[in-house]
Amino acid sequence: MTFTFRLSLLLLVVVGWNLDSTSAANILFLSPITSYSHTHFFFYTIKALASRGHTVTHWNGLKPREDIGNVTHLHSSGMQKVNSRHDIGFDTNNPVRLWLKHPDRMANTCRTCYNDPVFHQLITSREHFDLIVIEAFMNECMLPLVQHFRAPFIYMSGLPPLPWMLESTCSPMSTQEYPNLVTEFTSDMNLIQRTINIAVSVVMVYFRDWFILPRVDVEARQAWINSTEPLPTVKEIENRLSLFITNSQPSINYQYFKSSTIVEAGGLHLRPPKQLPKDVESFVNGSGDAGFIVLSFGSIVHGSGLPEATRKIFVAAFSRLPQRVLWKWEDESGMSDLPPNVRLYTWLPPLIDLLAHPKMRLLMTHGGLYSNQETVWSGVPLIGFPVFGDQSNYVVKAEKDGYAIKLDWMTVTEDILFHSIQEIVNNPKYKENVMKLSSLMREQIELDRPLERAVHAIEHVVRHHGAPHLRPSSCKLGMMQRESMDVTLLLALIVIALSYLTVCGVRSTTFKVFRWAKADRLIKTKTQ
């Protein structure tokens, strides 16, 4: 055997062993608190990992949509109930009120999780996991399981990062150019907007640290009351984060500075379109050159909860259109005043299949992130009626990028709606702009598909039993220090102190001069 041959054999064995050790991975996905849109981001990743031979156990708060080989679904009806009732509708979307209710909501959901049979099945199983993946939004009560199983963990987020997520990855807040998801600011902010943007971000981070996470700790201690060792706080466990995979995409979302802990995999769910169901296809086929429009408010807000006055406005505007309209309307009893060009569907085929149809002219939506990604990917303009949370932020960006019109469902009138639809359908600039973005997005996806990026990042963490090397040394700093707010404060104090000393100095000198002048005059008068 020559030396090189032996070397390559050795390499083969080493590389083979390496691959084997990854392919044997046992991965636990935790998303007991979730929504259909959030689990979507997980679903494709889990499928890809399973097809590469990994064993996946998924505690899914929603009923799994299909059985997949190598994947064990853990699911209970209790969590299903929690996750299909979000208490968010057209009239309950005040962000401050939602935020203030958050600590209670969190404590309740944690208690529900810890009382769930799936949770008890997990902690008594004594199974070994190579990696834990936690859905990043609202699932902090899963962090003690990271301690329990002594496994590395990563977050996956169906949203672009919120301030505390950037904080957990030790990334800068990028407040100068990255508008907080709950604001309607764009990346061009003036002084006042940047001040508000910083204030909102700082308040979110500290509100979570001071009022939300301690509630999780209380519930967790209750759940682990029989544990022989003390449980670290969830904040301490979160500091071991290996990786943060997020659903943002630089050709659609605002950009931000990232530490190496963040992997952007926005649009990983995008796939080639499938054939539409027969009845839907024949309806849209029959729309002639005018084409068709889809109206859907997503999975959390029920379209049929639309206030009656607004519904009438939609019906009146649609009746004036040459286009056919598909309207997602969950109420089985339908509408009595429906124009002939409009059809109601309690269930619509996946948007991505509708958007791919050549006669699709426009999507009217609440403006969630997935509909945004799918319309750009498919090259269809949109009209957004943001309802709550991050939706306004995406629609404002889409309007700024020239492929969308933002309307307010509370103040919209029949004429505004009709003319906005006409504008999008007849003015070619919307289609042109979205096609430009679509080609940018497709090119990055073709060269380096986000799903492959996510899978590679996950396997990297598994192979190296965590990824402390990806965490920057700024992780040792608090947010105030990382943002150099303490330095700014120190400099401001120095400037104030110096100004004060200067003023005092000038004043006492003036005083001395004045006294001297007065004394001088006195002496002069005396000697005269």
Per CB under 6 A, residues contacting ligand NAG are: 50-51, 53, 68-70, 225-226, 278, 281-282, 285
Cβ distance to ligand NAG smaller for residue 276 or 437: 276
Q: Which residues, listed in sequence order, are joined to residue 383 by a DSSP beta bridge? A: 364, 405
Q: What is the largest CA-CA distance in the chain?
A: 120
Q: How far is the CB of 439 from ligand NAG (least distance, A)?
A: 24
Q: How far is the CB of 25 from ligand NAG (least distance, A)?
A: 11
Cβ distance to ligand NAG smaller for residue 269 or 366: 269
**CA-based nearest residue to 67, from 75, 78, 125:** 75
Cα 483–Cα 486–Cα 492 angle in degrees, nearest 5: 115
Q: How far is the CB of 356 from ligand NAG (least distance, A)?
A: 12
Cβ distance to ligand NAG smaller for residue 69 or 428: 69
Q: How far is the CB of 326 from ligand NAG (least distance, A)?
A: 14
Cβ distance to ligand NAG smaller for residue 20 or 408: 20
Contact residues for 107 (Cβ-Cβ < 8 A; gap 6+): 215, 216, 218, 219
Q: Look up residue 526 and give its two tokens.
A: 């005396």
Q: How far is the CB of 72 from ligand NAG (least distance, A)?
A: 12
Q: How far is the CB of 278 from ligand NAG (least distance, A)?
A: 5
Q: How far is the CB of 422 from ligand NAG (least distance, A)?
A: 25
Residues 472/260, Cβ–Cβ less than 8 Å: yes
Residues 243/225, Cβ–Cβ less than 8 Å: no
Nearest-CB residue to ligand NAG? 69
**CA-based nearest residue to 380, from 416, 412, 354:** 354
Cβ distance to ligand NAG smaller for residue 114 or 254: 114
Which burial class, exposed, middle or buried, applies to 516 when counting CB atoms under 10 A from its CB (0-12, 13-18, 19+)? exposed
How far apart, in whole angstroms, are the C-alpha atoms of residue 305 and residue 429?
A: 33
Cβ distance to ligand NAG smaller for residue 70 or 474: 70
Cβ distance to ligand NAG smaller for residue 281 or 414: 281
Contact residues for 361 (Cβ-Cβ < 8 A; gap 6+): 290, 291, 292, 293, 323, 380, 424, 425
